[in-house]
Structure formats: structure tokens, C-alpha cells
Amino acid sequence: MQQSLLEMRHVEISYGGEPVVHDVNLVLKPGEILGVVGESGSGKSTLIKAAMGLLGNQGRITGGDILYKGNSLLHMKPEALRKMRGPEIAMVFQNCASSLCPIRRIGDQLFELMEQHNQRNREKVIDRALDLFEKMNLSDGRNILESYPFELSGGMNQRVGIVMAMMLKPALLFADEPTSALDVIVQAQVVKELMKLRDEFGTAIVIVTHNIGLVSYMADKAAVMYQGRLLEYGATKEIISNPQEAYTQRLIQAVPKIRRG
Ligand SMILES: Nc1ncnc2c1ncn2[C@@H]1O[C@H](COP(=O)(O)OP(=O)(O)OP(=O)(O)O)[C@@H](O)[C@H]1O
């Protein structure tokens, strides 16, 4: 049987001692896409922050365990966890531009990132970046490397953020609302490009979104969160075609349908 890449077992997460995520159980296999959907405050981002070791001072995993490739992340030293971020587990945020330094060229930021992981061969770094830019439909990669973030559009910066996250070939990519700041046409393009990355590199993706339509389109598995609990979890097709919970039914019904004629 294929080993799971990420597993959450009865996970409880608290801020300031107050539990906000309760008893979450999930399994993600290599190359799978999991869509985590739910309303604001339901705990979606908290789940992925916990797996990245980025809960901050107030946040703690207060119950259960999170395993990556069979190893507990809870018992990992902060330094080991830091080393995993990038080459093993990477993250894309809602607004990648804000995590880029506005006054430094994209290329310099890329080299710095790679240097932190002991990859100092500039030619190799450029080759990898240009290849990824192309996969993300950014045709003029060399020009982008020379650009500052403010010179690029929101969609371009978002793609740059995804390229940055993919530079170290992570096995797992967390994407927290990666397209919600973009207009709908660019959203659709970025989603397709994310799926292409999964197909080409076998990267598993956990995508957090409010949009169950997006989950239906791209995710193999779906997790519906409500008030810190996993309300429904399973194969996306099953959940969309046969939702068990009234909340999931409402989410599906709320997706606008376009009728012509
Ligand atoms: N740093 C923090 N300190 C205290 N409470 C927090 C903190 N971050 C999140 N919370 C609380 O944890 C709960 C879950 O929040 P979380 O951000 O994970 O939800 P979410 O589903 O990702 O929401 P959104 O879609 O708005 O991003 C909420 O009640 C929120 O107020």
C-alpha cells in the first residue's frame, strides 16, 4: 500500500488555550489534491499553519498528531521543521506579492531562497526558474527575473509566488486561497497551471478555499470544515454528487450556474 504523505490524526488546535479546531482526521497520498472548503473562521488556514509549524506564539497543537511521510511533525525540532519548509513542504499565500520584497528584483529573491537551501549554481537556478515560468504561462521569464514585484500584475505575482514555492520541488504544496485575489479568468488559468504542476511533478496539493466549485473542479478529495470540525471528508465526486450534510448541500447550491438561451 502506498504510504501516506500527510496524515492528521484526531488533531486539535488551540489559540491561547482555547480549542478552535477539533478532532480532524485526514490522509493525503503523494500527488493527490485535497480541497479544504468552509466559511470564514472555520479553521481551514489554522490546519495548514499547524502542518507548516507556523501557528505563532498563541497557537498550539493540543491534541492528536500530524505525520509527514510517517514521521510526527509534533516531535520534530524547530530546526528540522525549518529545513523541511521549501524542499519538502511549501506554501503559497492568497497574496503572494505581499510576501515578496517590493524593492528587490524577483531574480535576486529567487537566488536568495535557493542559497538558503545550499543551491548556489546560478545557471541551474535560472534554468529551473525559466522552466517553471513557462509552465505557469509566463512567457518572458528572463524579463521577470529582472523585474520588481510592483512592475508585475497581481496574476503575474501570484504565479511568481507559485514558482518560488516549486523551485525546491516540494512533495507537498499548501495553497491558502491562492486565486481569490485574482479576476475570474486569471483564477481559472492559475488553477489549471497548479494542476499541471501536480501532473508533471507529482506534487500533492492542499488547497484552502471558500469556493466549493474550485474544489469540485480540481480536487481528488474534499474536506468540508464547519466551526473547527471536519463535517464531511472523502472523494470529491462523492461529496459533490451525494452531500450528506445540510451545510455542504447549501455550499453546493450557492454556486452560481450560468444558463444560456
Ligand atoms: N492568531 C490567532 N489567534 C487567536 N485566534 C486565532 C488566530 N488565528 C485564527 N484564530 C481563530 O481560529 C479560528 C479559525 O481561524 P482560521 O483563520 O483558521 O479560519 P479560516 O477558515 O481559515 O478563515 P478564513 O477563510 O477567513 O481565512 C477563528 O475563530 C479565528 O478567529
Question: What is the three-state SS of the chain?
Answer: CCCCCEEEEEEEEEECCEEEEEEEEEEECCCCEEEEEECCCCCHHHHHHHHHCCCCCCEEEEEEEEEECCEECCCCCHHHHHHHECCCEEEECCCHHHHCCCCCCHHHHHHHHHHHCCCCCHHHHHHHHHHHHHHCCCCCHHHHHCCCHHHCCHHHHHHHHHHHHHCCCCCEEEEECCCCCCCHHHHHHHHHHHHHHHHHHCCEEEEEECCHHHHHHHCCEEEEEECCEEEEEEEHHHHHHCCCCHHHHHHHHCCCCCCCC
Does any domain span residue 10?
A: no
Protein residue closest via CA to atom 28 of ligand 1: 41
Three cell numbers written together for 26: 485526514
Query: What is the CA(236)–ligand 1 centre distance, in A?
Result: 24
Per-residue pLDDT of the chain in tens (261 residues, 90 and over written 9): 668 999 999 999 999 999 999 999 999 999 999 999 999 999 999 999 999 888 989 999 999 999 999 999 988 888 888 888 888 999 998 877 777 888 899 999 999 999 988 888 999 999 999 999 988 888 899 999 999 999 998 888 988 999 999 899 899 999 998 888 777 888 888 888 889 889 999 999 999 999 999 999 999 999 999 999 999 999 999 999 999 999 999 999 988 777 765
pLDDT for the residue numbered 17: 92
Other Cβ atoms within 10 Å of 181 Cβ, number: 18
pLDDT for the residue numbered 194: 87
Does any domain span residue 26?
A: no
Does any domain span residue 53?
A: no
With a 6 Å cutoff on the Cβ, whether 43 touches ligand 1 is yes
Q: pTM of the full predicted structure?
A: 0.92
With a 6 Å cutoff on the Cβ, whether 56 touches ligand 1 is yes
Q: Which residue has the cell 512592475?
A: 151
User: What is the spatial distance between Cα 30 and Cα 49, in angstroms, rounded to a whole number?
Assistant: 20
User: What is the spatial distance between Cα 8 and Cα 125, in angstroms, rounded to a whole number?
Assistant: 34
Query: What is the CA(22)–ligand 1 centre distance, in A?
Result: 13
Single-letter code of the amino acid located at 194: L
Residue 196's Cβ-side half-sphere holds a number of Cα atoms within 13 Å equal to 16
pLDDT for the residue numbered 179: 85
Does any domain span residue 22?
A: no
Between the two ends of the chain, the Cα-to-Cα distance in Å is: 50
Protein residue closest via CA to atom 30 of ligand 1: 41
- Cβ atoms of residues 147 and 105 within 8 Å: yes
With a 6 Å cutoff on the Cβ, whether 70 touches ligand 1 is no
Closest atom of ligand 1 to 56 CA is 1
With a 6 Å cutoff on the Cβ, whether 14 touches ligand 1 is no
Q: Which residue has the cell 483564477?
A: 187
pLDDT for the residue numbered 110: 94
With a 6 Å cutoff on the Cβ, whether 20 touches ligand 1 is yes
7 φ, ψ (degrees, to nearest 5): -140, 130
Does any domain span residue 162?
A: yes
Does any domain span residue 198?
A: no
pLDDT for the residue numbered 190: 84
Does any domain span residue 203?
A: no
pLDDT for the residue numbered 53: 87
Does any domain span residue 120?
A: yes
pLDDT for the residue numbered 105: 95
Protein residue closest via CA to atom 7 of ligand 1: 15
pLDDT for the residue numbered 178: 86
Query: What is the CA(8)–ligand 1 centre distance, in A?
Result: 18
Three cell numbers written together for 5: 504523505
Query: What is the CA(20)–ligand 1 centre distance, in A?
Result: 8
pLDDT for the residue numbered 252: 92
Query: What is the CA(21)–ligand 1 centre distance, in A?
Result: 9
Q: How many domains does the chain have?
A: 1
pLDDT for the residue numbered 261: 59
Single-letter code of the amino acid located at 238: E
Range of the domain at 155: 100-169
